[in-house]
Amino acid sequence: MSTDANGASLLREALLTDHGSAGPYESYQRLRTAHPVLQTSSGVVVLSRHRDCDSALRDRTLGKADESLGFGLTEVPDALQRRAMHRFRRTMLFRNPPDHTRLRRLITDVFTTRHVELLRAGIVATIEHLLSEMAGKSTVDVITDLALPLPVNVIGDLLGLPAEGRDLAAYLVRDLVAPLEPMSDAQAIRQAAHAEDQLAEYLGTLLADKRIHPADDLLSRLAAAHGEDRLDDDECVGTAILLFAAGFETTTNLIGNGLAALLANPDQADLLRRRPALSANAVEELLRYDAPIQTNGRTVLEPTQIAGVDLEPGQVVLILLGAANRDPDHITCPDTLDITRTAWRPLSFGAGIHFCLGAALARMEGAELFPRLLNRFPELAATGEATWRPGLSFRGLISLPVTTQ
């Protein structure tokens, strides 16, 4: 374990640098090689090896609390951080059993593989509609024309959001997640607080209406919960915000990052065109190669030992998912994109009891989209400069212009 100046410098390089198209992977490699288990001056333990990250995600002596407040990498008052996500922190994302169990079981069945399969026909129809709209243009922005509207509308339908409010809500989510970024400053956190208030007002109004006029959707289920499953107001609104945000953030980044990787590796794009049956496998590799979620955090709940380090309650463990996915001790040639890899799943959706609830849905959207997109537009190519969003935890593109012919 390291606490020296070199380790601190490598950590700041990995977490606080705007890495752009290259990604943080060279920085991860340097950190993982020199300091695979690093403890900062504030006591945060940073893990970058696959075996350590996987173990920490599954360890029940670690849980969720306010670990994002404990990174100590920027000067943001704790009170501002707490205000920015006070409803979000009442959701399953930041809760431990039994509250986590209660909040999750209310909606788990909607995201099972069996139920997601029932959504396939509608997802394919949405994809075909979006691709047809793209066909009429010589140049499109993959993010605004495809990667964002596909998952926003899929999760919007599941929740029961009116079509006309989805775009604004999606825009607000981009501000909302700032507190989960290690590099966010006070201004970004203030914007996050404002975004959460706006989303709470919008979704709270919809939830109130669903109590009077219930429908077959997730908002109605949240609004009608009773008995031991009943949610208080902050839990109800926070869970609605979480479901909407999680329903598109990861998938939008998966589509954008995945297509950018395929365009940069035309042999792999051509292989997927010829062998569309590889689509599900390709999604796993794209998730590994440039993960849409790069970090995760846990708080120590009871005295324990992780990666050989003795930990006390309250300490924070920062898990570098993107580094774990490219650990050469776990996977051969980790910096090479190979959509034929088998029998290995990345940590991009986490692991343990906080494994991403919407993983099956995101995987399906990607698996149905990529081969259709590549075959519909065989001359698809990047044009102009791609713009990557700042930050690390949510790695994705703001803009990815392409030519379709």
Q: Which DSSP string corresponds to 228-276?
A: GG---HHHHHHHHHHHHHHHHHHHHHHHHHHHHHHHH-HHHHHHHHH-G
Question: In whole angstroms, what separates CA 368 from the centre of its chain?
Answer: 19
Question: In whole angstroms, what separates CA 332 from the centre of its chain?
Answer: 25
Instruction: List, run by run, the mean pLDDT of 10-residue segments along the chain (405 residues).
Output: 73 82 93 94 92 96 74 64 76 88 86 90 97 93 96 95 92 86 80 91 94 92 81 88 91 97 97 97 97 94 94 94 96 96 88 93 97 96 90 92 92
Question: In whole angstroms, what separates CA 70 from the centre of its chain?
Answer: 20
DSSP-assigned letters across all residues of 207-235 = HHHHHHS--SSHHHHHHH--GGG---HHH
Q: CA 400, 180, 100, 290 torsion: positive or negative?
A: positive
pTM of the prediction? 0.93
Q: How many CB atoms lie within 10 A of CB 70?
A: 21
- Has domain 5-88+97-403 been given CATH number 3.30.70.2190? no
pLDDT at 252: 97
Distance CA 300, CA 51 (A): 18
Supply 217's token pair.
């959707």
Q: How many CB atoms lie within 10 A of CB 119?
A: 19
pLDDT at 15: 82
pLDDT at 111: 87
pLDDT at 145: 96
Tell me which residue of 293, 260, 276, 286 sits closest to 142, measured CA to CA. Answer: 260
Kindly give the interhelix angle for 149-159 and 120-135, rounded to the nearest 10 degrees: 140
Q: Which amino acid is at 223?
A: A
DSSP-assigned letters across all residues of 15-84 = HHS--GGG-SHHHHHHHHHH-SEEE-TTS-EEE-SHHHHHHHHH-TTEE-SSGGGG---S---HHHHHHH
Question: Phi, psi at residue 302, to the nearest 5°?
Answer: -150, 160
Supply 330's token pair.
């776990």
SS3 of residue 199 by DSSP: helix
pLDDT at 70: 47
pLDDT at 396: 95
Per-residue CA distances from 96 to 62, 84, 231 (Å) = 9, 21, 16
Say if CB 171 and CB 389 are below 8 A apart: no
Distance CA 274, CA 36 (A): 40
Tell me which residue of 394, 366, 398, 405 sits closest to 142, measured CA to CA. Answer: 398
| Residue 98: cis peptide before it, omega within 30 degrees of 0 | yes
DSSP one-letter code for 119: T
Question: In whole angstroms, what separates CA 282 from the centre of its chain?
Answer: 18
pLDDT at 254: 97
SS3 of residue 355 by DSSP: coil
SS3 of residue 311 by DSSP: strand
The label of the residue with tokens 């706006």 reads 198
Distance CA 132, CA 144 (A): 15
pLDDT at 283: 97
Give the bridge partners for 311, in sequence order. Answer: 304
